[in-house]
Amino acid sequence: MITGCDTGFGHHLARRLDNCGFTVYAGVLKESGQGATSLLLEQSERLHVIKLDVTEDNDVTRAVSHVKDICRRGELWAIVNNAGFFIPGDVELCTLSQYKRIAEVNLYGVIRITKAFLPFIRESRGRIINMSSIRGLYSRPGVIAYSLTKFGIEALSDALRVEMKKFGVKVSIIEPGVFDGCTAISSPEQIERLKAEVEEMWENATEEVRFTYGREYFNSMIKKQSEKGTGPWISPDPVLDAILDALLNQKPKARYLIGGAGWPIDFRTAIARVYRYLPESLGDALLAKFYKGSGLQKHSIFQSGMHYHPRFEDATSNKYEYCLMTKSELSLTYQAMKSSESEEKN
């Protein structure tokens, strides 16, 4: 059983396993979509395309029934929890709705599918394979909502691996590096979705946040993702090979960290390999340097040491404008405000 087979790793994996002779249950979000249609038309009868929205209990229940109708007891060998999506954005910029929406798919979807199919896997003493990311090993600036879900998958998988040991079930985590070139993450359809996500952030941001970051900063999130889509195509084979090893090896690894990026060295994966061993101060400095274009370091205001600060025009109306202050001016302003509050109390 593989989730998220419309595009990307899930789609490639469904094809690979079918070609290897496996019976494959390919969960898709859009049953009439291009990905589902191509699997039905181009693959063998061993591959079963199932409508499966991992956020919908009814879809999951129907998928379980579908597998029961075809699969004899003890025959379902593995679950590959692959379904997921991406939202960019800083901690301050992502809306609560976006945090909840991405977690519902990337994390709670994994939990929902795992709980539903665990009886099959316990009976076969099979495998559970969860798709994480290097974003689950260190939290880089600008992708917090996505990283939160991948850190959650890491924690879930670590606990599940120990819990399932008594049943003979093996649990593995797949941690790909940069493989944007072989997924749909930078496709025109996904870029349009990301534009809507960024627009939601802008519309829900306060005036102070808009002033502080600026529209250009919001737009840069879309630009960066669009530029990734213009890079070279990268073969998904290293990731598929890792999943096959997790499926078939008598002693699969707990984690498969796979470098990508299409370069001799995937620097993001290199950071992931060493990050957990670094002191926080050194790790923070490394991320700040490597991802210097992801924050406000290039913003002229922050380079000059100036900060936006609300200045009340009228204490009775709560109307305010924004002015630029240096750190020392900001400190003196707060001291004056505290002094004024203290006098009013007295």
Model pLDDT, residue 291: 79
- The residue annotated as part of the active site, out of 25, 108, 138, 146, is 146
Q: Catalytic: 138?
A: no
Nearest to 127 by CA among 271, 242, 273: 242
How many CB atoms within 10 Å of residue 254? 12
Nearest-angstrom CA–CA distance, 56 and 78: 21
Model pLDDT, residue 334: 54
Per the document, the length of the chain is 346
- What CATH number belongs to 8-290? 3.40.50.720
Amino acid present at 283: G
Domain with CATH 3.40.50.720 in the chain: 8-290
Tell me the whole-structure pTM to 2 decimals. 0.83
Nearest-angstrom CA–CA distance, 177 and 131: 12
List the pLDDT tens digit at each of the 346 positions of the chain.
999 999 999 999 999 999 999 999 999 999 999 999 999 999 999 999 999 999 999 999 999 999 999 988 779 999 999 999 999 999 999 999 999 999 999 999 999 999 999 999 999 999 999 999 999 999 988 999 999 999 999 999 999 999 999 999 999 999 999 887 777 777 788 899 999 999 999 999 999 999 999 999 999 998 887 776 555 667 899 999 999 999 999 999 999 999 876 566 778 888 999 999 999 999 999 888 887 655 454 444 444 444 444 444 444 444 444 454 555 555 555 566 556 556 655 5
Nearest-angstrom CA–CA distance, 47 and 20: 11
How many CB atoms within 10 Å of residue 194? 22
Q: Please, are residues 299 and 291 in contact by the beta-carbon 8 Å criterion?
A: no
